Amino acid sequence: MSRKPGIGQAESEILRFIADRQGATVNEVAEHIAETKGQSRNTVMTVMERLRAKGFLARAKADGIYRYSPVASKSRVMEGLVQDFVEGVLGGSVSPLVAYLTNRVDVGEEELAELKRLVEKLGEGK
């Protein structure tokens, strides 16, 4: 599978919003973004079309309205966003991310158990 181009912060936020809902219209996304970021509907539509052109979103027309949906599951979308962050911002090193988690994040028992499971898997060579 070829690697998709990276995405910016605004694209990331919109992609997460759509993935959380398994799809959304421009108006649904624009309403959320207007409330949280103050950006216009036109800006949101431009970003969504950019995500579609990059291969992150698909769209289908129903009752005269386009509904956008992620081309991958939410977990795959999130994995890709983390990968972009680790490669782009952290230069491929996960150590700063782990250091952040140990010093700054309040982790519940269930999430801690999941993190331990993942570290064990990492130690096994995946």
* CA–CA distance, 24 with 73 (Å, rounded to integer): 14
Residue 3 DSSP class: P
Do the beta carbons of residue 33 and residue 44 sit within 8 Å? yes
Residue 67 has a pLDDT of: 97
The confidence band for 39, taking pLDDT boundaries of 50, 70 and 90, is confident
* CA–CA distance, 57 with 81 (Å, rounded to integer): 14
* CA–CA distance, 101 with 81 (Å, rounded to integer): 17
pLDDT tens by residue, 59-95? 999 899 999 999 988 888 888 888 888 888 899 998 9
Between 6 and 3, whose confidence is greater?
6
